[in-house]
Structure 1
Amino acid sequence: MIVATPSSASRVRAWGFVAIVLSLLPVGSAVAQPRGPVVVSPEIADRSVTFRVLAPKADEVTLFSSDLPRELLTGEFAKDDEGVWSLTIENVPGGAYRYLFEIDGVRTVDPRHTETSESNGNLWSLVRVPGAAFMDRADVPHGSVTRVNYRSRVLDRDRRLHVYTPPGYESSSEKYPVFYLLHGAGDSDDAWTSVGRAHDILDNLIAAQKIVPMIVVMPNGHTGPFSWIQPVARDERSGNVGNASFEQEFVEEIRPMIETRYRVIDAPNRRAIAGLSMGGAQTLEILTRQPKDFAHVGVFSSGLIFGDPTVWEAKNQAMLDDAEVRAGIRLLWFGIGKEDFLLRQAKATVELLERHEFEPTYVETDGGHTWSNWQRYLEQFAPQLFRD
């Protein structure tokens, strides 16, 4: 083996460059000293969270969050003599929360914090507050979360999804049940494993022997621009905003790709699908296209929320009245909060299904259209899967 070594001339040039750099540093200093105050944000102590941002020329700083309880967002930032703005929120429940700083009207992520969560239209900073044992990062075996990039023929563009594989998947040859888990309108395929903490919830449930180890697939339910908090342009190619053609992509590409690449048990009673809000409506639509392929179905904070339910009912009359379809669905689970703005639609969807002799399980909880509910619904739904 031949090992190349730098020539003496090269070493001289390298040391000469180092000498020049060192000569530019302050006298008496081996390394450049940081300029300005040290800012730590967020800082968590028990159930209090302190947010800080250096903005010496700003006139106003506020905190924007779609996840923190509204009653906690009443405080104001204070500015110190060094230009650091700070806000402490007390009694924050354990959980995961997205937030942004709004500095003189401009929203931005926390520049001192690296943990983030992706929505379909923007990036959030993410803070995790210990205290929710079911989704805290525990000292248990952990599964893996993989970002899978692929080219969609249906949409003619590059796409991405997330896949959770349980502990031991890589070292075994075992086949596993598969659970397709869909996000809501404000989010992306990143959401269930960032703010949703799905992988931590599943790891903890597996360690407690409360669920069957499973593969969980979290696709991107959006096929065009969408955002609740900022304007978006229509897609130049399709003209669509939102989720057009997702169900087609799921049936024709996503599911076949997953069930070819991963060691999945190819049986309806080992296949589940669920989604929150927009994803719940997409779940019901996928069920109409492949009604005998999923034995376990979950709808979180949703129902028939797109279009006229009577039109949907008439269009899917044959499926709804098919006794074989009804017998094959072993779990049809609805969960929604009493303060959720889609409560009426969820109840109406359950009643429609009952009229056709389906037997949905309906769970009504406290709270609204929030991740704190959806995390709990996943914790309640997953242990009911693949038990027969």
Structure 2
Amino acid sequence: MRQRLPLAGLAILAGLASQPPAQAQPGGPRPPDFASPEVSAEKKVTFRVFAPKAAAVKLASSDIPGNGPDAAPGMENGGAMKKRDDGVWEAVVGPVQPGAYRYRFDVDGVAVVDPRNTATSETNSDCWSLVYVPGSDASDTKDVPHGAVAEVTYSSKTLGRPRRMHVYTPPGYEKGEGKYPVFYLLHGAFDCDDSWSTVGRAEFILDNLIAAGKAKPMVVVMPAGHTGPFRFGAGGDNSFERQMQEFEDDFVKDVKPLVESRYRVLGDRANRAIAGLSMGGAQTLNIAGGHLGEFGYVGVFSSGIFGITGGFNGAPPDTKWEESHKSILDDAELKKGLKLVWFGCGKDDFLVKTSEATVEMLKRHGFAVTSRESEGGHTWTNWRLYLSEFAPQLFQEK
């Protein structure tokens, strides 16, 4: 038999239900109500974190200039945050250029993601919180048909262990009709297969381009470019050279065959593209350079042949890549099916000379190369821009 609560009891329950859920604070004060991050109409971003016992809290942010004369307003002092009377530390940054930005807090020397923000972006070794500043025609979330991004786990026979990649399928793919061109999109050093679909906004960039009729619907494959823990200069299993070769082997023997057997993609050269940023740009050149007959479109963002302008400590320019690929570079028949070689790099990018030298080397071997320089440096702001410019040129009938 059901029992009815008296009206007073119902009122108490209703009052409790209307209260926001309290975060557990064993042995500590209950935090006040606050939001983080908050983006204003003026594109200023307010970051907050509750750390009443901390001695110092700083904001670390990807792509938002941090120190010196070029620092974004609010970042001139290295992102130091101010403590309020209620134990909440706060920093206001901006106005900030529209786009996605990684950030986290340094609380007394400990890196902490924002506990009030569920949006995150992975790298090869850690995790960052993610904030999006709207106002970009290319990457905003618009009222258009949206595709889907899937995390795909596969067994790499090349490396002998499970691996992961992200795959974007365009709006309408789920209907199960027709085949699509395929675009392999590679990330840079220290990032991972999650990066292009989070901080890179690849899904929304493609959705917007397709909806506007500026790009063909396509499947975009974003594989993991690292094959283990990584740092520059590391030896043994973690060396840069070894990981570059391991990734190329995994891509050729596992990733590409799996994608082109599992997904409804067109398997000919005219419907296959590859591009990458920084380390991924070098991997793109390695893969396309060794298998040029398989790719009709090649894009290199903020990258080139590493060492082509010389190494550290005054080392002479490295010509090994050019020499080892000479027969392919000079093959006139292979060039006939190559529809686009596209380079983009920022004027302030530390790899701009590498990019320029690689373009000139390819031109010496008879390649028709399109290259452009943008403002800025080695940042996701530029890489999102390059994707929005490169993708509309793919798989178009000329």
TM-score in same-fold range (> 0.5): yes
User: What corresponds to 1:275 in structure 2?
Assistant: 276
1:314 matched to 2:318 = no
CA distance in 2 between counterparts of 1:115 and 1:324 reads: 48
User: What corresponds to 1:39 in structure 2?
Assistant: 34
1:159 matched to 2:148 = no
Q: 1:256 to 1:206 in 2, by over 3 A?
A: same
CA distance in 1 between counterparts of 2:127 and 2:189 reads: 15
What's the CA shift string for 1:29-51, capped at 9, x where partnerless?
Answer: 85797333113110111111110
What's the CA shift string for 1:260-292, capped at 9, x where partnerless?
Answer: 000111110110000000000000000122110
Q: 1:239 to 1:97 in 2, by over 3 A?
A: closer
1:107 matched to 2:111 = yes
Letter in 1 for 2:297: H
SS of structure 2 residue aligned to 1:193: coil
Give the conservation status (yes or no) of the 8 Å contact 1:339–1:368.
yes
Q: Percent identity?
A: 53
Give the conservation status (yes or no) of the 8 Å contact 1:222–1:244.
no
User: What corresponds to 1:19 in structure 2?
Assistant: none
CA distance in 1 between counterparts of 2:235 and 2:36 reads: 36
- Unaligned 5+ segments in structure 1 are 1-7, 12-21
Give the drift of 1:213.
Answer: 0.4
Mapping of residues 197-276 of structure 1, within 5 Å: 197-226=201-230, 238=237, 240=239, 242-276=243-277
User: What corresponds to 1:65 in structure 2?
Assistant: 61
1:379 matched to 2:388 = yes
CA distance in 2 between counterparts of 1:120 and 1:352 reads: 32
Q: 1:309 to 1:212 in 2, by over 3 A?
A: farther
Letter in 1 for 2:342: W
CA distance in 2 between counterparts of 1:387 and 1:171 reads: 23
User: What corresponds to 1:16 in structure 2?
Assistant: none
CA distance in 2 between counterparts of 1:294 and 1:29 reads: 63
What's the CA shift string for 1:65-91, capped at 9, x where partnerless?
Answer: 121133112253111111110111131
Runs (4+) of structure 1 exceeding 2 A deviation are: 28-36, 232-235, 238-244, 306-309
Give the conservation status (yes or no) of the 8 Å contact 1:280–1:298.
yes
Letter in 1 for 2:251: F
User: What corresponds to 1:117 in structure 2?
Assistant: 121
User: What corresponds to 1:140 in structure 2?
Assistant: 144
CA RMSD of aligned residues (A): 2.4
Give the drift of 1:233.
Answer: 8.5
Letter in 2 for 1:272: A
Give the drift of 1:334.
Answer: 0.3
SS of structure 2 residue aligned to 1:223: coil
CA distance in 1 between counterparts of 2:136 and 2:212 reads: 15
What is the TM-score with the length of structure 2 in the denominator?
0.86
Give the drift of 1:136.
Answer: 0.3
User: What corresponds to 1:332 in structure 2?
Assistant: 341
CA distance in 1 between counterparts of 2:318 and 2:157 reads: 31
- Unaligned 5+ segments in structure 2 are 3-8, 23-29, 309-316
CA distance in 2 between counterparts of 1:279 and 1:322 reads: 24
